[in-house]
Amino acid sequence: MTKTVIVEDDPMVAEINRRYLEQIDGIELVAIAGSVEEALPILKENQVDLILLDIHMPGDNGWSLLSKIRGLGTEIDVIIITASCDKESIKKGLRFGAVDYLIKPFEFERFQSALLSYKKDQMMMNEQERINQMELDLLLLHKEQITPEGYDLPKGLTKSTLCKVWRQVLEMGRTPFSTEELACKVGISRVSMRKYVMFLADIHALETEVVYGTIGRPVYMHKAAIVGSNIIDHYINH
């Protein structure tokens, strides 16, 4: 699970963001803080992966919290959610390492896209020790997997293997599985399977959840999304 804290001084906006989070699998809301002062002890006392951070708040603003987080050298990621749309604020957010920047007001689809992209990027970074240039470009530039031609598969993926992978995913029903488990069942390498899993997650045919063990790296568990077959049909029959 991606453990998340909302830092937002407007109770109505905080509640909307909370409801949005509830609709996304694999996200756990740790707490809602109405100020930087309220957020700091929450971050110190809890394991937190991601902060949804407002900028303009009474007392210390979001920049102050972001600066403190970076100064401590923590690995907490931040998605900025603010009404500030001036270029200086956006540049400042990027310089501080925000993984995304949402301008209020926004639709749920944009919010969902930000969280799903974040989860996909974390899956890539945590499941492999080395990343090739194509994977790095996807991570840094957020290139879409769907090409301008429509439903063509990314380079290196084939329809025949995609069919085998998806058939196995369906056989597992709603039982979560790891990339390694799926690779063993299909009979392809873990490296190759990772590309198919990343693709399926990117087009939202798979739901992904982070499972934290007592030791070692977090494990990413997947299962078929309810609408997954409808999505896959476009690629297989194209």
Instruction: Tell me the domains of the chain and their CATH numbers.
Output: 2-106 (3.40.50.2300), 130-236 (1.10.10.10)
Q: What does the pLDDT read at residue 3? A: 94
- The pLDDT > 70 percentage for the chain reads 86
Q: Band of the pLDDT at 149, cuts 50, 70, 90?
A: very low
Cα separations in angstroms, 73 against 79, 96, 148:
17, 12, 40
Smallest CA-to-CA distance from 24 within 113, 103, 154, 134 is with: 113
Helix (H) or strand (E) holding 17: helix 11-22
User: What is the overall mean pLDDT for the chain?
Assistant: 84
Smallest CA-to-CA distance from 192 within 167, 166, 158, 237 is with: 158
Q: What does the pLDDT read at residue 73? A: 72
Amino acid at 21: L
Residue 200, both tokens:
């399926």
pTM of the model: 0.62
Per-residue pLDDT tens for 96-114? 889 999 998 888 888 988 8
Residue 87 has pLDDT above 50, yes or no: yes
Per-residue pLDDT tens for 27-48? 999 999 999 999 999 998 999 9
CB 71 within 8 Å of CB 45: no
Cα-Cα-Cα-Cα torsion 49, 54, 57, 62, nearest 10 degrees, comes to 60
Higher pLDDT, 75 or 76: 76
